[in-house]
Chain A
Amino acid sequence: DQQVKQNSPSLSVQEGRISILNCDYTNSMFDYFLWYKKYPAEGPTFLISISSIKDKNEDGRFTVFLNKSAKHLSLHIVPSQPGDSAVYFCAASEAEGGSRLTFGEGTQLTVNP
């Protein structure tokens, strides 16, 4: 069963506008959530994370929102830049799961100049 889902395989936005990437999860034991950015043939690069005790975390142009009741999180990128074009993965871990991450399928973001 897919415990972390990213329902949009792709997203295209104009440079300077906001990019919103969404992620849903089903496992109520997840307590830590992360977003990674990935280029082909490279390892994922950590972007931003959020603990389940928070509902928002901001780091520069990146903001992650967590809605625990809806089991939903989103990544906002403002303003979007062409260099942000990559695959974005949402990941989650459990308190008792050690460092095991469960990943979503990824969303290909394309930022057009």
Chain B
Amino acid sequence: KAGVTQTPRYLIKTRGQQVTLSCSPISGHRSVSWYQQTPGQGLQFLFEYFSETQRNKGNFPGRFSGRQFSNSRSEMNVSTLELGDSALYLCASSLPRTVEETQYFGPGTRLLVL
């Protein structure tokens, strides 16, 4: 079974631009969560999507948004990029929590904002 895939793997943007990251979950997984990893803040939860609906949201500004499609693929968008948005963005997928509670992570997208 293929794992979680994320595209692109690396991205360089400048301040003020926007960016869209993509995540394809493991086949059969319907929950997709996004996390940001930075050296100073560690791994921080951004949001979770389940059945095309945002089910959970972390403490990030509204510039960070996401969506999920009917095939469970998810996208994350960051508008008006700031230098502090430079980070590794990780996507994780899982079955509905009542079935299995383990999240499996993709390799991440490394975003550098100049």
Which residue of A49, A89, A105 contacts B102 across the interface (Cβ within 8 Å)? A49
Distance A93 CA – B104 CA, assembled complex (angstroms):
14
Q: How many residues of A contact B (CB 8 A)?
A: 25
Q: Give every chain B residue within 8 A of A32 (Cβ-Cβ).
A: 101
Quick check: is B74 within 8 A (CB to CB) of the other chain? no
Q: How many residues of B contact A (CB 8 A)?
A: 28
Determine if B101 and A42 form an interchain contact, defined as CB atoms under 8 angstroms apart: no
Quick check: is A16 within 8 A (CB to CB) of the other chain? no
Other than A42-B107, A91-B43, give 12 A-B pairs with Cβ distance below 8 A: A32-B101, A43-B105, A44-B43, A51-B101, A98-B97, A99-B50, A99-B55, A100-B58, A101-B92, A103-B35, A103-B42, A103-B43
Binding site for B on A (CB under 8 A): 32, 34, 36, 41-46, 49, 51, 89, 91, 93, 95, 97-106
